[in-house]
Amino acid sequence: MSEITGQTRLTGLLGSPVSHSKSPLMHNEAYRLLGLDYVYLCFDVPENNLQVAFEGLKKLNVAGFNCTMPDKTLMSKLVDELSPAAKIIGAVNTVVNDNGKFVGHNTDGTGYIRSLQDCGHNIVGKKMTLLGSGGAASSICVQAALDGAREIDVLSIKDNFWSKAEKLVSDINNNTDCKVNLIEMNDDSIGESVFSSDILTNATPIGMAPNTDGCLVKDSSILRPELIVSDIIYNPLETKLYKMAKEKGCSVFNGLYMLLYQGAEAFYLWTGKKMPTEEIKAKYFD
């Protein structure tokens, strides 16, 4: 995108907070590089305003948009149709205007797996401890199971997501070769799960700015050098968990590449073009 015209198509991000997001940088740069007449903006939309915001975007006939926390689960109930993956996951992070029908997709899981691979790791045959059972966690869990994870411990507090998580775990166990366990999250259960896991992933907002002191892992002694640790948060780039893991010699990565690759898939769904990810990565992520 070089300039706004009368034909410019609108895309963007809904969520709260969103002012820290790198999505406008990468999408607008990709539009510019490919000469596409699109623009990407951020809209701070808390969950209680999501329905009215969505109806407004539909009336404006936007090309599509992304959703981030806390809007992903509710958006899955608002769209006209769900992709097969989004239906299983029960959360939407990408909405596409398909000739007036707004279809919800979820690209978080594929974004996570590609970011894992970018860091030189593979999910095949691995056991993962997954902290959280919300939209992002569900997407990661489904994709990891489909891509060959051996076992996944989903650790969650018994909140509004619990019953949905029970159904998701049952569906994965019945339809893949991966063994998935839903476990109530506390300090002891985190330690027990991590002890036998290859990968620890925080898929909750705990530790995200401005509450950067938050960390679900209270005892750093459960972290060992051969453990792969990922935190899908990227603001700050190094959360408390990230720093703890780095100090223990773990291979550790944040949510930046997950953001890049889930965004690349959304970009393709909106435009039919492949995002120039290497150029975007070099400019904004390395």
Per-residue tens of pLDDT for the chain, all 286 residues: 568 999 999 999 999 999 999 999 999 999 999 999 999 999 999 999 999 999 999 999 999 999 998 999 999 999 999 998 898 888 899 999 999 999 999 999 999 999 999 999 999 999 999 999 988 899 999 999 999 999 999 999 998 879 989 999 999 999 999 999 999 999 999 999 999 999 999 999 999 999 999 999 999 999 999 999 999 999 999 999 999 999 999 999 999 999 999 999 999 999 999 999 999 999 998 7
Which residue positions form the known binding site for NADP(+)? Answer: 132-136, 232, 255
Sketch the domain layout of the chain as residue ranges. 9-105+262-285, 109-253
Helix, coil or strand: residue 176 = coil
Which fold would CATH assign to domain 109-253?
Rossmann fold (3.40.50)
Q: How far apart are the first and last CA of the chain?
A: 23
Known binding-site residue numbers for shikimate:
21-23, 68, 93, 108, 234, 262
What is the number of other CB atoms lying within 10 angstroms of the CB of residue 34?
Answer: 15
This prediction has a pTM of 0.87
Amino acid at 247: E
| Binding residue ranges | 21-23, 68, 93, 108, 132-136, 232, 234, 255, 262
Among this protein's residues, is 87 annotated catalytic? Answer: no
Catalytic residue among 58, 59, 72, 158: 72
Distance separating alpha carbons of residues 286 and 284, to the nearest angstrom: 6
Task: State residue 1's pLDDT score.
Answer: 53
pLDDT at 285: 86
pLDDT for 151: 99
| Architecture in CATH for domain 9-105+262-285 | 3-Layer(aba) Sandwich (3.40)
Cα–Cα distance for residue pair 277/134, rounded to 1 Å: 27
Domain 9-105+262-285 matches domain 109-253 at the CATH topology level: yes
Confidence at residue 160, expressed as pLDDT on a 0 to 100 scale: 80
Q: Residue 94: what pLDDT?
A: 98
Please give the radius of gyration of the chain, using alpha carbons only, rounded to the nearest integer: 18
Cα–Cα separations (whole angstroms), residue 248 to 131, 207, 221: 19, 18, 8
